[in-house]
Structure 1
Amino acid sequence: MKQYFAILAVFFLSLLLFKNSEADLQCNDVLKDLTPCVSYLTSGSGSPSTACCNGVTTLASAASTTADRRAACSCIMSAVSKVNPSPKATKALPGSCNITFPFTVSPNVDCSKIS
């Protein structure tokens, strides 16, 4: 339980650190959508919850412009660098929720190249 609260704290700290004036999609929206996925992403096993899949679906729909996709990517990558989720769960999340996400979350992604 302590780890869960630590992860949430990192997410909320990321809110304060990230702002993107070009995008309509803000980091706090991205993190709010993904917060229900924390336990799935850190455990690396099981299935994502309905709330998690709803959040991922909302985020994928909201990231409709290049600026929004880049903003979402930057926010996610900032949180990932602090939380260290399971790479397997991170890669599986969109497919587990039956959606296509506009980019792959991986350590090598360059958010500035997302179109």
Structure 2
Amino acid sequence: MAVDSKVRVMIAAVVLLAMVAAAPGASAAVTCGQVGSAIAPCISYVTGRGAITQACCNGVKGLNNAASTTADRQTACRCLKSLAGSIKSLNLGTVAGVPGKCGVNVGFPISLSTDCNKVS
């Protein structure tokens, strides 16, 4: 019974965090959770531990399609920059090339120096 209670509390906390994280960017439909989920299959490739996969490309394509407004693209940009800082052994050159390898034009350079406020 105690395990069920802990699981429920954890689920409630995750939902609450997702709601709080989405609130400041209320005009954007894309969330950092979606960005993280979309690019998760790419992590082994951008850290040099594997090849680019169809799952990675599907995630990149799905994220690109979901980010249909300026607010969405700016949110995705900020999320990508934030996530990049948390991934050890990240090869930024490899990261920048992922959209092209997947046949996707994201409309802005994938770089830590990108000014997300200028993404349109």
Q: What TM-score do you get using the length of structure 1 for normalisation? A: 0.78
1:1-115 counterparts in 2 under 5 A? 18-19=21-22, 20-43=25-48, 47-84=51-88, 85-115=90-120
Write the deviation string for residues 6-29 of structure 1: whole angstroms up to 9, x where unpaired. Answer: xxxxxx9xx768432210111111
Write the deviation string for residues 52-95 of structure 1: whole angstroms up to 9, x where unpaired. Answer: 00000001111110000001001110011121520121111011
| Stretches (4+) displaced over 6 A | none
Larger-gyration structure (1/2): 2
Where structure 2 has 5 or more consecutive residues not aligned to the other structure, the ranges are 1-13
Q: Equivalents in 2 of 1:33, 1:83: separation in Å?
A: 15
Please tell me the root mean square deviation across aligned C-alpha atoms, in Å. 2.0
Q: Equivalents in 2 of 1:47, 1:35: separation in Å?
A: 13
Where structure 1 has 5 or more consecutive residues not aligned to the other structure, the ranges are 1-11
Q: Which amino acid aligns with 2:97?
A: A
Q: Which amino acid aligns with 1:57?
A: K
Q: Is the 8 A contact 1:33 1:55 kept in 2?
A: yes
Q: Equivalents in 2 of 1:93, 1:61: separation in Å?
A: 16
Q: With CA pairs under 8 Å and 6+ residues apart, which has the higher RCO, 1 or 2?
A: 1
What percentage of residue pairs aligned between the two structures are identical?
38
Instruction: Report the Cα offset of residue 47 of structure 1.
Output: 3.6
Aligned residues: 101
SS of match in other structure, 1:112: helix
